[in-house]
């Protein structure tokens, strides 16, 4: 088993996560463009995943590393694939239902969900700082969503919040897998195990027909593969609580891309709620960083 803690390189992890945020922002633009051109969500997901398997197989074969695919944690990979597929449906669905900036902002609540999950699933003691951040973050959600009187559909907001919840859950699972598995192995099995489920839904999806649509699908598949690898690699070199800070840069790209490709800028109310959500995430990241240092010192003293 690999000792993942000894491989911590926090600066590299932050840079990788920053690159991942940009790459995945590009992918989401392509998802929205493909959907608006008439391509169904199931087909978008299928072509997002399909190239991953042959590309990685060719990569492992070229490096004479096919034996690395003999994982002893196939059950965990399958669980990650099921959760990841559900998360992708929600994440891509949110992008098709909401403007890019709003969908991205709601995704930032993943840090808030992570606190709640750590308290419920891991029985971790959560103090006043993080619970206050949770309340502040959800206040930001209410400000943006404005239930009953909003510029965005309530259903779309709920889908986006569900996607953020899944991101938090999956991040915990990936962190566990990276203790023994390389980043490319995790990415490979995610694609391999999710493809059969997507293939079943293909006959019921509106497929790509034009050259333009196929170009969009090819581009989003490439950016998705790169982004997934960067996302997973960042968790190998740094803790979730640290690297997740870089995700907030995606709001800059979402706003810019929303203006460039869809001629839409977020309304004023988004800029009131978004800082609350971002501040909540930063507070959680800061507090977890402090707690991790305290645990490290206690372990040394003990």
pLDDT at 121 (0 to 100): 77
Helix (H, G, I), strand (E, B) or coil at 171: helix
pLDDT at 230 (0 to 100): 87
pLDDT at 220 (0 to 100): 92
pLDDT in tens, 81-136: 999 999 999 999 999 999 999 999 998 888 888 888 888 877 777 888 888 888 99
Q: Please indicate, yes or no, whether the overall pTM of this predicted structure exceeds 0.85.
A: no
Give the span between the Cα atoms of 57 and 61, in whole angstroms: 6
Residue corresponding to tokens 């449906």: 89
Give the span between the Cα atoms of 218 and 240, in whole angstroms: 30
pLDDT at 78 (0 to 100): 95
Residues of the chain with pLDDT below 50 are 1-4, 6
For the record, the structure tokens of 64 come out as 């004479």
* CB 97, CB 79: distance < 8 Å: no
């Amino acid at each position: 088993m690999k000792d993942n803690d000894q491989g911590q390189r926090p600066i590299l992890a932050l840079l990788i996560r920053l690159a991942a945020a940009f790459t995945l922002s590009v992918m989401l633009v392509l998802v929205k463009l493909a959907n608006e051109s008439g391509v169904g969500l199931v087909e978008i997901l299928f072509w997002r995943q399909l190239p991953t398997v042959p590309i990685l197989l060719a990569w492992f074969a070229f490096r004479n590393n096919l034996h690395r695919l003999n994982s002893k944690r196939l059950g965990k990979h399958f669980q990650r694939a099921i959760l990841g597929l559900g998360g992708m449906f929600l994440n891509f669905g949110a992008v098709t239902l909401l403007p890019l900036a709003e969908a991205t902002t709601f995704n930032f609540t993943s840090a808030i969900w992570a606190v709640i999950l750590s308290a419920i699933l891991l029985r971790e003691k959560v103090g006043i700082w993080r619970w206050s951040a949770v309340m502040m973050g959800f206040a930001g959600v209410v400000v943006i969503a404005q239930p009953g009187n909003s510029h965005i559909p309530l259903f779309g907001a709920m889908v986006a919040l569900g996607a953020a919840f899944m991101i938090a859950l999956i991040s915990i699972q990936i962190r566990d897998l990276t203790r023994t598995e390389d980043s490319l192995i995790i990415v490979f099995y995610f694609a391999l195990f999710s493809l059969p489920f997507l293939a079943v839904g293909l006959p019921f999806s509106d497929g790509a027909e034009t050259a333009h649509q196929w170009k969009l699908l090819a581009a989003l598949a490439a950016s998705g593969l790169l982004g997934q690898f960067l996302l997973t690699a960042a968790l190998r070199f740094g803790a979730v609580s640290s690297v997740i800070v870089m995700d907030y840069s995606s709001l800059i790209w979402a706003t810019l891309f929303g203006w460039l490709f869809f001629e839409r800028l977020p309304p004023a109310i988004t800029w009131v709620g978004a800082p609350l959500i971002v501040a909540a995430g930063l507070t959680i990241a800061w507090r977890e960083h402090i707690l991790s240092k305290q645990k490290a010192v206690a372990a040394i003293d003990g």
